[in-house]
Amino acid sequence: MTKYAIKEGWLTPARHRPSPHCDERPDDCAIDLLVVHGISLPPGEFGGSWIDALFTNTLNAADHPYFQEIAGREVSAHLLIRRDGEVVQYVPFDRRAWHAGQSRFAGRERCNDFSIGIELEGCDDRPYEAVQYRVLADIGTVLLKTFPMLSPERIVGHSDISPGRKTDPGPYFDWTYFRSLLVAQA
């Protein structure tokens, strides 16, 4: 049994850092897709407060040359799972986070409308941590129970819904291992 629960759209326990980069979902739009992302800021570096700053619109462009390219972007995710397994929530699940951008799944565009976005602190050229897989599977199990239209087959990578534009969570994300953890909890 998992230790996570959802109360009024917020995951507990998780650190909550509300993002201004979200809005209402369209009426009568059921959540039926979970999108797994990978992020590191600056690219290839882990830890620090940069991801929080990006998602909460407080990233200072002067803090790193790369930040000059991305400061001011209005992006967010519902959750971030850090390398050590810490979970941060930026947007409640009942609201639309701005994580997918131009995207398409099963013939439907605008995946932000009907999806939950979970970022893993990582990058395309390094393996993710075992604890990140365990936490993702724990949270995935809770989401599957909470949102009846969501299924294991509807858990995809950002690269699956934005091919050619996005590569995350990348080739080092072990889908077989993740799915085995998810099935073991069902």
What are the catalytic residues? 119
Write out the H or E segment, with its range, that includes residue 7: strand 5-7
Contact (CB, 8 A) for 77 and 117: yes
Residue 148: asked if its preceding bond is cis (omega within 30°), the reply is: no
Tell me which residue of 60, 61, 34, 39 sits closest to 51, measured CA to CA: 39
Local structure of 55: helix, strand or coil = helix
* Position 133, amino acid: Y
Q: Tell me how far apart the alpha carbons of residues 18 and 182 are, in angstroms, rounded to a whole number.
A: 27
Dihedral class, residue 101 (left if φ above 0, else alpha if ψ from -120 to 50, else beta): left
- Looking at the DSSP bridge assignments, the partners of residue 120 are 38, 81
